[in-house]
């Protein structure tokens, strides 16, 4: 079996600050196989976004950050790659979708300009006309009905849902093998968010893209991911296939999390602790779903 | 081998003045204006060189009975426009001066009328005998009537604006230099008038650039770099010193003006004669003169003997100059009806003349030794000339430089001390003294120079008794100049004019290149 | 582009209102405070009748509101009265002196943009590095002394001790350039005299740099801080996640949006040069409007004061309108917005 | 679920209320001819997608800006456009964003005390103690009084905001998305607290949210807004068993769910909607 | 406090700024003790020692009437600081109040106030102060009035912008809903949130007021002799360049040092208080 698209082992992250070292990640491990959709769930501030940014190599360049542990992309240790090689992966082999589509697109350039820029990453020297042609096709893919008009628009002239689709189209334009989605669409309407998820699901399935899907919304995760990791204050507390984990949460934190979600079937609001010692209980590993390279 | 004559190399004289030169001759008052006027326009008479008095110029000769003056004009004079200069133009020039009522027009207040007897004869009729009239004519530049009439701007009456708009930027004279360009903030460029009726000597500069408003430091450097020729007289002594040390020549003009420290005689405490005398003796004259000394020989000031600078008609002998005498000062102060602890003197100085600040500080220090408190106030000129119009607003002590605009003592001290002239920048003393008035009036009507000299000497003595003014020093205008230029009128006593500014007659200067 | 036209119209309208306000303010300042312009105009030796006559001619004997009315009607005819300083119509003076000031200010503005902005970008891109610290130190020094101190220091260093640059004026005497636009840098080119152009350029370097120094500092500091802020924006992270090169991100992705908040203030700084030019022109004997302004203020030359201040604030307002348009050009949100402003 | 008693007079009534905003010549009809009653003691949920006019209704109820048309009655009497102090006291608000709803530069206590001071509630000297009590009522220690908002977590801040709404002792509280900025665990705690307070004090809520699963668990009735119009107003049970309006069904269909039963319920409703379409 | 210190220590520039400001302020305060010739701050002439290049005991040389330049510079700091403090003490409250009112009230109040502010802003500061000083008598008091007249609008503008954005914050809405008075909302709720920005601007401005005041005196419109003033020293000294360079260079550097110090501190403050421009 080939190497997983993404492999993270014992990743630690700390930020230096005037108050001393602030440990954010306490050694997390996860992996994503080719074409797999994996979710990372946890409360706000638990370290989801920083994990994603480490994968992209954005944190490493911060002077205040201290990163240790292994991050392998398609079998290559990112730490061993030169800055140049790491750079070359971004936007080509891996790309990212952000939470708020409208503020993630540059406000002063048209979609066409930005799309061109993105395509240049995958196909250096691509002409404007060719880029436009490909952009139109990509926008068609994400079910945008008037791609030409959208291309000539500025982000603020489009609805959040449209921008979201543009972002997805851009992220997939260079056919990356890893797509990171950091809470995509939580800034949008419920209905738009639902459409976005369906769309992303279809597209990644079609392109066999591996996805790291970050969210704090368990409902969304359940609809999207094959497998999920639950993270609590910088530690992975439980992982496993989506259905299994939702049916049979084993870690106290996962259980609390699931319980706390109000049900549309009713049943009132349960009494749950929002913080508890029990949540620091050790990682729950399911049989057959251990991290590669580790016993299990 | 024929020596290569610099036919192509035209000579340029560059000089500067602090104030902007006023081109309109009817409005000319200050030094810069005078320089322009004396070169662009001609007058009926010229100041004599090497002594007081006037000599013929446009006028070949004249006759007078004290009240009427009849002048015979030269017939070979043409304006720069090509129009001939006639008696009509003289009449026009006087009328214009009086109609504008600006500048030095007050000099002609008692001229009843001027008439052209024939094209070459002009007659002035005065309301009363006025002996300084001839020297006043030094301030009546003759304007090209025809040219001005062709260029009248909007205005009421026959003569509309009397050509004010035109003459503020154009010349209409007969002088040895023509105006090439005039930018009030930069310079006036003049070029020699080849058709000048007296001819312009070859050594005189071809082009003259009169620059305005240069900073002292700038002038200093330009001279040092050989890019400037004559400085203004307003440079601080230190700068002149530096220039002289750097090899510049020093040009000196004496006898026309003085530096006066004026006391407001209407307000406490200087309405008391003893108090004024106390200050007169407390002032450190020697330090004052030393402050403006430039070299051992040359100074911007020399000890004053009284109101009239040495060399002027009726000036007191140098032996009568004041010196500091603290004991005397204390004596007078003791007799003063005010006690030093009861008042604070305002020592004003005009913001445009930084040198005055030092004198204010000197006085402050001097007076402190008598136990007199004082505060120094800097006043911009505009505000100063406004304040002095009311005795109650006039500072206790003001400092002014005054010059005799025609070279005649009358034009220096009448305006300062005659009671009818009180309340101008020249007369912030508000002196009211019958005897002084009488003497000054007499000086105007007497015709013989001896009589007049005696009268003015007496006036000087009386003024020293009354002590309205601390006669700080006789002012010498000192100019630093490059070696490229010779100005005989400023270096050779026998060629010096009895009128300040006339030394800057460019045609009499020589370029040494 | 209709919204831009509407924006322009609206801005010009507001500017006009402000300009009228300025005229009232400056008129009031000039007239209400004691001091008799007629006396100053006529000089120290004028008689009381002459003064009274002039007062009447200048409407000074009438209530201030009436005077203001006269002023406005004269202004409408392009008549700002006669300067007591130069004895010429104030309009003539302004027409003659404004180009020199504008030339100086424009060259300074150019320096501010060409030096200040790159410094700011560099500083933001390498923030907290030694480059950043050095640039911050230097730019802060730049804003820490008034233009006249810089003028004096530069003159001392580069004109006196090291005579590399001329110390006064706009061009050497030896050149006679027929006036066309009043901008010597332009007129010399029109005249086809390259040496004269070089000479004029050589004259403008020091004064323009002295004037520009604080603007350069301000611009760099402003661009830096706004860019640092922009660097926190999600779209920068997005650009980074696509692996665009750092230089490109700085120049294209971070700089341009960060100019939107910066421009207003840079515009103000640029316009402030009109005011600061007063000091520099005085030091370098630059025959501009600002130097004229100082001269007329010291002489209480009311017409000229009012005229100069009005022109300067009109320039100021024009600069701001231009800045607004520039912002609209950079910021599509304004360009396409239904609600202008 | 208590049925609202129809015999008593409604606490709050909106009669044909509309709101039109005009921005630079463009008219936005944010709320269009909306009428509903809120009975004493009930929790009326207002749901709808973004921009459907939910907040605008809340703001009009609170008198932050006046309605363009229609009238609002509190306890049977007309509420004027310019609210007097008593009106202000009668209706309180809990906002969505707990971060911005507390002044970062004032202590928790000062923010709470403002309500007491403005309405002259209690003795001046006793107010500080009252602030402590209020905090305790929402499950926070009294000594949080002197803390700055930035030292509190989101959930704690939202409790403070609730305490502030309680301080005026008003009967009607408008909650504009009070939990949407919170984590699920914290959200559960806050919702629990709100439920308890309503029961204990007989409060009446107008509860604005876009989260239908929350609605299901707290509301007695649901008002569904679409583009400024009230498209459905039914008891909560009815909405989730038999939604009438297709838009309501669409909303329910978009809810992400975590359990199989939920998925089943959602599927059922979606089928209906497809069938009716 | 910890954080403040950490930021200060982390950045050597801030430390330098603090040191410079402390140096300037302390020397101004203790001028009587640290200067060799305290009497030279007043009307003293010593023609025996005039125009001397720097040499002991005149470490910065003497001026044209023989006064010690170092002494005069230290005393000039005193005047500059007093001037700066007085101007800001008057201008800031005026500007802030107008800005708050305009920003918070909006509507025609905003329009009128901001147009008036624009009028003052559109005349470059120096021009405005100069034209006022041109017609007023040049005294320290009038200088302060003129500088104050041109200074308040900048605070109006700053606070106006801040107030307009703070007005949208939830805590303002919360206070309004409770029924707090407009004055309370402006001065107790909004103002504290503007304070960091105002404070930062004030430190920066202290430097700029010194600059403007010295620019005015450079033009001969300011403090009266013999009171020492940095701007006039530079201006007067400039006439004697390059020979008596110390007359301009030292006062010029003195301005630079003081303003630089204040600007560094302002920068540090901006970082500490997290205030944006
Ligand atoms: N550049 C940084 N410097 C210092 N601390 C940081 C930095 N970036 C993130 N952190 C801290 O790391 C922790 C994890 O942040 P992260 O953004 O990964 O959280 P998250 O799980 O994505 O939360 P959310 O759901 O709110 O997005 C937080 O406590 C955050 O404050
Ligand atoms: N002050 C205002 N000026 C102009 N338009 C406004 C204003 N407030 C709201 N609107 C408009 O009114 C409509 C309804 O807005 P409202 O805030 O009530 O929606 P909402 O249902 O609360 O949405 P969300 O879920 O995003 O909070 C929107 O189109 C909005 O743009
Ligand atoms: Mg995150
Ligand atoms: Mg809302």
Domain that residue E68 falls in: 2-273
Q: D258 with A218: CB under 8 angstroms? A: yes
In a shared domain, residues C51 and C119: no
Per CB-CB distance under 8 Å, the chain A contacts of E10 are 18
Q: Taking 50 as the threshold, does the pLDDT of residue B275 lie above it?
A: yes
Distance from CA of B446 to the nearest CA of C (A): 24
Domain extent for C193: 90-298
Chain mean position to CA E146: 13
Residue C39 contacts B, CB cutoff 8 Å: yes
Contact criterion met (CB < 8 Å) for A19 and E10: no
Mutate one of C2, C6, C9, C339 to test the D interface: name it (highest D CB count within 10 A).
Answer: C339
Same domain, C119 and C186: yes
Q: What is the pLDDT of residue A293?
A: 64
Q: How many CB atoms lie within 10 A of CB A295?
A: 6
> Do C62 and C182 lie in a common domain?
no
Phi, psi of B387 (to 5 degrees): -65, -40
- Say if residue D192's pLDDT is above 60: yes
Q: Model confidence over D103-122: pLDDT tens digits?
A: 998 999 999 999 999 999 88
Spatial separation of the C-alpha atoms in residues B500 and B227, rounded to whole Å: 26
The pLDDT of residue C272: 80
CA E215 to chain centre: 12
Distance of CA A71 to the CA centre of its chain: 15
Cβ <8 Å between B378 and E51: no
pLDDT, tens digit (0-9, with 9 covering 90-100), for B29-84: 889 999 999 999 999 999 999 888 899 999 999 999 889 999 999 999 999 999 99
Across the interface, which of A44, A189, A263 has its CB nearest the CB of D259?
A263
Q: Please report, rounded to a whole number, the percentage of residues in chain B having pLDDT higher than 70.
A: 98
**What residue ranges in D49-170 does DSSP mark as E strands?**
69-74, 77-78, 91-94
The finding on whether D50 has its CB within 6 A of some atom of ligand 2 is: yes
Q: Can you give the pTM of this predicted structure?
A: 0.84
Supply the residue whose CA is at minimum distance from atom 3 of ligand 2: D21
pLDDT band, residue A9 (cuts 50/70/90): very high
- Ligand 1 residue neighbourhood (C-beta within 6 Å): A 15, 22, 24, 42, 44-50, 62, 64, 216
Claim to verify: residue C320 and residue C230 sit in the same structural domain: no
Packing angle of the helix pair E246-273, C130-143 (nearest 10 deg): 120
| C75 and C128 together in one domain | no
Report yes or no: C247 at the A interface, CB cutoff 8 Å: no
- What count of CB pairs under 8 Å joins B to C? 94
> Number of structural domains, chain C?
2
Of the candidates A101, A126, A291, the one whose C-alpha atom is nearest the C-alpha of residue A196 is: A101
| Count of the separate structural domains present in chain E | 1
Per-residue pLDDT tens over the stretch A56-77: 988 888 888 999 999 999 999 9
In this prediction, residue D273 carries a pLDDT of 65
- Which CATH superfamily does the domain covering D12-241 fall into? P-loop containing nucleotide triphosphate hydrolases (3.40.50.300)
Cα B59 to Cα B68, B76, B145, distances in angstroms: 15, 11, 18
| B107-121, B319-333, E212-226: segment of lowest average pLDDT | E212-226
Query: In b/e form, how buried is each residue of D85-124, taking b as 16+ CB within 10 angstroms?
Result: eebbbbbbbbbbbbbbbbbebbbbbbbbbbbbbbbebeee
Domain extents for chain A? 101-175
- CB contacts of C282 in chain B (<8 Å) are 215
- Chain C residue numbers touching D22 (CB-CB < 8 A): none
Beta bridge partners of D26: D23
> D64, D118, D120: which is closest to E179 by C-alpha?
D118
Q: Does residue C51 fall inside a structural domain?
A: yes
**Nearest-angstrom CA–CA distance, B237 and B231:** 12
Q: What is the pLDDT along chain C (341 residues), one digit of tens a residue?
A: 567 788 888 889 999 999 999 999 888 877 765 567 777 667 666 667 777 877 887 788 888 889 889 888 888 888 888 887 777 889 989 998 999 999 999 999 999 999 999 999 999 999 888 899 899 999 999 888 888 889 989 999 998 888 899 988 888 888 888 888 889 898 999 888 899 999 999 999 999 999 999 889 989 988 998 999 899 888 998 998 998 888 889 988 999 998 888 888 888 888 888 878 888 888 888 989 988 888 887 777 888 888 988 998 898 889 888 988 888 888 887 777 543 33
Give the mean model confidence (pLDDT) for residues B21-26: 90
Q: What is the mean pLDDT of residues B98-126?
A: 91
What one-character-per-residue DSSP string does A170-221 give? HHHHT--SEEEEESTTTTS-HHHHHHHHHHHHHHHHHHT-EEEEEES-HHHH
Nearest 5°: phi and psi at B151?
-125, 40
Rounded average pLDDT over D82-95 = 90
**Nearest-neighbour CA in chain E from B291: distance (Å):** 8
* SS3 state at E193: helix
D101 C-alpha vs ligand 4 centroid, how far in Å?
14
Q: Is the CB of residue C244 less than 8 Å away from at least one CB of chain A?
A: yes
Which whole-number Å values give the CA distances from C284 to C148, C170, C337, D15, E203, in the listed order? 10, 9, 46, 75, 31
Report chain D's mean pLDDT, rounded to a whole number. Answer: 89
- pLDDT confidence of residue C35: 62
Among D49, D154, D192, select the one facing A269 at the smallest CB separation. Answer: D192
Question: Is residue C306 a part of any domain in this protein?
Answer: no
Q: How far is CA E198 from CA B512, E206, E265, in A?
A: 66, 12, 14
Q: What digits encode the pLDDT tens for the residues E92-123? A: 999 999 999 999 998 899 999 999 998 988 88
pLDDT of residue D224: 95
D108: nearest Cα among D149, D140, D168: D149
Domain assignments of chain D as residue spans, ordered by start: 12-241
- Ligand 2 contact, D65 CB (< 6 A): no
Left if phi > 0, otherwise alpha if psi is -120 to 50, otherwise beta: which for A276?
Answer: beta
Q: How far is CA E56 from CA E52, E53, E63, in A?
A: 10, 10, 14
Q: Are C152 and C208 in contact (CB under 8 A)?
A: no
Please report, for residues A195, A270, C14, C309, D252, the alpha-carbon distance to residue D215 in angstroms, rounded to integers and kept in the order given. 22, 15, 50, 65, 11
Q: Is D248 in the pocket of ligand 2 (CB under 6 A)?
A: no
Question: What's the CATH number where E110 sits?
Answer: 1.10.3720.10
């Amino acid at each position: 079996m080939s190497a997983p698209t993404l492999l993270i082992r014992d990743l630690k992250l700390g930020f230096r600050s005037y108050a001393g070292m602030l440990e954010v990640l306490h050694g997390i491990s996860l992996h994503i196989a080719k074409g797999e959709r994996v979710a990372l769930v946890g409360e706000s501030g638990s370290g989801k976004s920083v994990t994603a940014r480490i994968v992209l190599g954005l944190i490493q360049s911060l002077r205040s950050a201290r990163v240790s542990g292994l991050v392998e992309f398609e079998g290559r240790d990112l730490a061993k790659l030169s800055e140049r090689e790491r750079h070359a992966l971004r936007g080509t082999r891996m790309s990212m979708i952000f939470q708020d589509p409208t503020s993630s697109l540059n406000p002063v350039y048209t979609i066409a300009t930005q799309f061109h820029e993105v395509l240049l990453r995958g196909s250096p020297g691509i002409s404007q006309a060719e880029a436009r042609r490909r952009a139109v096709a990509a926008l068609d893919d994400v079910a945008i009905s008037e791609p030409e008009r959208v291309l000539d628009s500025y982000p603020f002239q489009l609805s959040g849902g449209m921008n979201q689709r543009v972002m997805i189209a851009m992220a997939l334009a260079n056919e990356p093998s890893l797509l990171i989605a950091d809470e995509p669409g939580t800034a949008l309407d419920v209905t738009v968010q639902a459409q976005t998820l369906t769309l992303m699901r279809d597209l990644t399935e079609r392109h066999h893209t591996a996805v790291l899907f970050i969210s704090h919304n368990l409902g969304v995760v359940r609809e999207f991911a094959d497998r999920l990791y639950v993270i609590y204050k910088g530690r992975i507390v439980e992982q496993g296939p989506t259905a299994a984990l939702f049916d049979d949460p084993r870690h106290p934190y996962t259980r609390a999390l699931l319980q706390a979600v109000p049900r549309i079937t009713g049943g009132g609001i349960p009494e749950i602790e929002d913080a508890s010692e029990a949540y620091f209980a050790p990682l729950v590993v399911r049989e057959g779903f251990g991290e590669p390279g580790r016993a299990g | 081998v024929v020596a290569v004559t610099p036919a192509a190399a035209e000579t340029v004289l560059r000089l500067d003045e602090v104030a902007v030169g006023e081109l309109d001759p009817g409005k000319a008052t200050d030094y810069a204006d005078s320089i322009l006027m004396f070169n662009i326009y001609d007058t009926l008479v010229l100041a004599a060189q090497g002594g007081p008095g006037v000599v013929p110029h446009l006028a070949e000769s004249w006759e007078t009975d004290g009240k009427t003056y009849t002048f015979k004009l030269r017939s070979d004079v043409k304006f720069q426009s090509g129009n001939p200069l006639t008696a009509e133009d003289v009449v026009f020039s006087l009328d214009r001066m009086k109609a504008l009522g600006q500048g030095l027009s007050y000099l002609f207040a008692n001229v009843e009328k001027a008439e052209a007897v024939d094209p070459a004869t002009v007659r002035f009729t005065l309301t009363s005998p006025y002996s300084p009239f001839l020297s006043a004519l030094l301030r009546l530049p003759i304007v090209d009537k025809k040219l001005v009439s062709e260029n009248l701007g909007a205005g009421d009456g026959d003569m509309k604006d009397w050509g004010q708009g035109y003459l503020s930027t154009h010349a209409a004279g007969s002088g040895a230099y023509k105006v090439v360009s005039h930018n009030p903030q930069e310079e006036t460029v003049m070029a020699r008038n080849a058709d000048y009726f007296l001819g312009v000597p070859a050594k005189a500069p071809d082009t003259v650039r009169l620059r305005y408003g240069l900073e002292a430091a700038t002038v200093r450097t330009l001279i040092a770099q050989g890019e400037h020729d004559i400085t203004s007289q307003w440079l601080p002594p230190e700068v002149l010193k530096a220039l002289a040390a750097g090899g510049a020549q020093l040009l000196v003009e004496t006898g026309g003006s003085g530096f006066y420290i004026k006391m407001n005689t209407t307000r406490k405490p200087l309405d008391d004669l003893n108090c004024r005398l106390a200050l007169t003796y407390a002032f450190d004259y020697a330090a004052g003169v030393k402050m403006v000394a430039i070299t051992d020989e040359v100074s911007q000031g020399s000890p004053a003997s009284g109101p009239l600078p040495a060399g002027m008609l009726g000036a007191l002998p140098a032996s009568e100059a004041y010196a500091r005498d603290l004991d005397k000062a204390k004596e007078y102060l003791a007799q003063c009806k005010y006690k030093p602890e009861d008042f604070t003197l305002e020592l004003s100085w005009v913001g445009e003349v930084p040198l005055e600040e030092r004198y204010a500080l000197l006085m402050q220090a001097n007076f402190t030794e008598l136990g007199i408190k004082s505060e120094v106030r800097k006043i911009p000129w505009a505000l100063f000339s406004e304040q002095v119009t009311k005795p109650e607003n006039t500072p206790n002590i003001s400092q002014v430089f005054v010059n005799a605009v025609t070279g005649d003592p009358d034009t220096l001290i009448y305006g300062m001390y005659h009671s009818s002239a009180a309340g101008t920048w020249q007369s912030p003393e508000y002196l009211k003294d019958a005897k002084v008035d009488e003497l000054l009036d007499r000086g105007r009507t007497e015709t013989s120079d001896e009589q007049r000299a005696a009268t003015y000497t007496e006036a000087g003595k009386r003024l020293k008794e009354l002590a309205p003014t601390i006669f700080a020093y006789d002012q010498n205008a000192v100019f630093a100049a490059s070696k490229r230029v010779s100005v005989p009128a400023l270096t050779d006593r026998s060629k010096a004019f009895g009128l300040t500014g006339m030394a800057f007659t460019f045609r009499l200067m020589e370029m040494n290149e | 582009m209709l919204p831009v036209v509407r924006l322009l119209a609206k801005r010009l309208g507001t500017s006009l209102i402000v300009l009228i306000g300025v005229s009232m303010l400056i008129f009031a300042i000039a007239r209400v405070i004691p001091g008799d312009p007629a006396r100053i105009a006529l000089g120290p030796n004028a008689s009381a009748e002459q003064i009274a006559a002039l007062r009447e001619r200048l409407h000074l004997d009438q209530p201030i509101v009436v005077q203001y009315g006269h002023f406005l009607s004269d202004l409408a005819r392009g008549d700002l009265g006669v300067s007591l300083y130069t004895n010429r119509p104030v309009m003539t003076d302004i027409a003659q002196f404004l180009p020199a000031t504008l030339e100086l200010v424009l060259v300074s503005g150019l320096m501010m943009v060409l030096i200040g902005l790159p410094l700011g970008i560099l500083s933001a891109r390498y923030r907290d590095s030694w480059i950043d610290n050095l640039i911050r130190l230097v730019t802060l020094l730049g804003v820490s002394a008034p233009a006249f101190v810089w003028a004096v220091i530069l003159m001392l260093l580069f004109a006196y001790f090291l005579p590399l640059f001329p110390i006064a004026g706009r061009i050497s005497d030896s050149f006679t350039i027929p006036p066309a636009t009043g901008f010597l840098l332009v007129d010399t080119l029109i005249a086809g005299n390259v040496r004269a152009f070089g000479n004029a350029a050589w004259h403008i370097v020091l004064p323009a740099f002295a004037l520009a120094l604080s603007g350069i500092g301000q611009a760099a500091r402003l661009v830096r801080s706004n860019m640092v802020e922009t660097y926190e924006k999600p779209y920068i992270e997005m650009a980074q996640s696509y692996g665009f090169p750092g230089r490109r991100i700085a120049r294209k992705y971070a700089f341009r949006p960060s100019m939107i908040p910066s421009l207003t203030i840079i515009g103000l700084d640029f316009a402030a040069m009109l005011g600061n030019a007063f000091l520099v022109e005085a030091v370098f004997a630059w025959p501009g409007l600002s130097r004229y302004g100082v001269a007329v203020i010291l002489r209480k030359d009311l017409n000229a004061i009012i005229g100069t201040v009005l022109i300067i604030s009109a320039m100021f307002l024009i600069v701001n309108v231009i800045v607004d348009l520039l912002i609209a050009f950079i910021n599509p949100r304004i360009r396409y917005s239904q609600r202008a402003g | 679920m208590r049925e609202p008693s129809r015999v008593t007079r409604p606490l709050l009534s909106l009669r044909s209320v509309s709101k039109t905003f005009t921005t630079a010549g463009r008219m936005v009809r944010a709320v269009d001819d909306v009428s509903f009653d809120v009975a004493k003691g009930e929790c009326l949920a207002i749901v709808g997608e973004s921009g459907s006019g939910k907040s605008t209704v809340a703001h009009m109820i609170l008198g932050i800006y006046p309605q363009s048309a229609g009238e609002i009655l509190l306890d049977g009497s007309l509420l004027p456009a310019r609210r007097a102090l008593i009106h202000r006291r009668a209706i309180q608000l809990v906002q969505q964003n707990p971060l911005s709803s507390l002044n970062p530069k004032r202590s928790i206590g000062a923010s709470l005390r403002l309500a007491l001071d403005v309405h002259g509630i209690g003795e001046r000297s006793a107010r500080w103690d009252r602030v402590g009590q209020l905090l305790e009522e929402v499950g926070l220690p009294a000594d949080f009084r002197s803390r700055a908002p930035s030292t509190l977590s989101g959930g704690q801040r939202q409790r403070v905001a609730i305490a502030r709404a309680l301080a005026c002792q008003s009967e009607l509280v408008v909650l504009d998305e009070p939990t949407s900025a919170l984590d699920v665990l914290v959200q559960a705690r806050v919702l629990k607290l709100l439920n308890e307070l309503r029961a204990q004090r007989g409060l009446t809520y107008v509860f604005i949210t876009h989260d239908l699963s929350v609605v299901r668990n707290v509301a007695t009735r649901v008002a569904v807004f679409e583009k400024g119009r009230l498209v459905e107003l039914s008891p909560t049970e009815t909405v989730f068993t038999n939604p009438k309006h297709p838009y309501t069904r669409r909303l329910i269909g978009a809810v992400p769910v975590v359990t199989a039963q939920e998925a089943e319920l959602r599927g059922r409703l979606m089928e209906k909607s497809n069938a009716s379409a | 406090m910890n954080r403040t210190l950490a930021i200060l220590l982390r950045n050597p520039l801030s430390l330098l700024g603090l040191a410079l400001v402390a140096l300037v302020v302390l020397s101004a305060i203790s001028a009587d003790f640290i200067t060799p010739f305290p009497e030279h701050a007043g009307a003293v002439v010593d023609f025996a020692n005039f125009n001397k290049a720097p040499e002991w005991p005149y470490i910065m040389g003497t001026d044209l009437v023989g006064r010690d330049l170092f002494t005069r510079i230290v005393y000039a700091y005193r005047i500059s600081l007093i001037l700066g403090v007085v101007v800001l003490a008057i201008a800031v409250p005026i500007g802030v109040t107008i800005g708050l009112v305009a920003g918070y009230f909006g509507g025609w109040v905003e329009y009128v106030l901001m147009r008036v502010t624009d009028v003052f802003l559109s005349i470059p500061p120096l021009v405005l102060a100069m034209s006022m000083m041109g017609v007023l008598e040049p005294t320290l008091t009038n200088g302060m009035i003129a500088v104050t007249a041109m200074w308040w609008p900048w605070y109006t503008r700053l606070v106006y912008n801040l107030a307009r954005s703070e007005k949208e914050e939830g805590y303002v809405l919360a206070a309004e809903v409770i029924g707090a008075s407009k004055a309370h909302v402006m001065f107790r709720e909004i103002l504290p949130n503007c304070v960091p920005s105002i404070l930062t601007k004030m430190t920066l401005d202290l430097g700029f007021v010194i600059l403007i005041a010295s620019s005015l005196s450079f033009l001969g419109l300011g403090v009266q002799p013999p009171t020492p003033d940095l701007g006039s020293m530079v201006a007067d000294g400039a006439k004697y360049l390059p020979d008596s360079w110390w007359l301009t260079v030292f006062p010029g550097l003195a301005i630079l040092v003081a303003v630089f110090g204040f600007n560094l501190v302002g920068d540090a403050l901006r970082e500490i208080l997290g205030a944006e421009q």
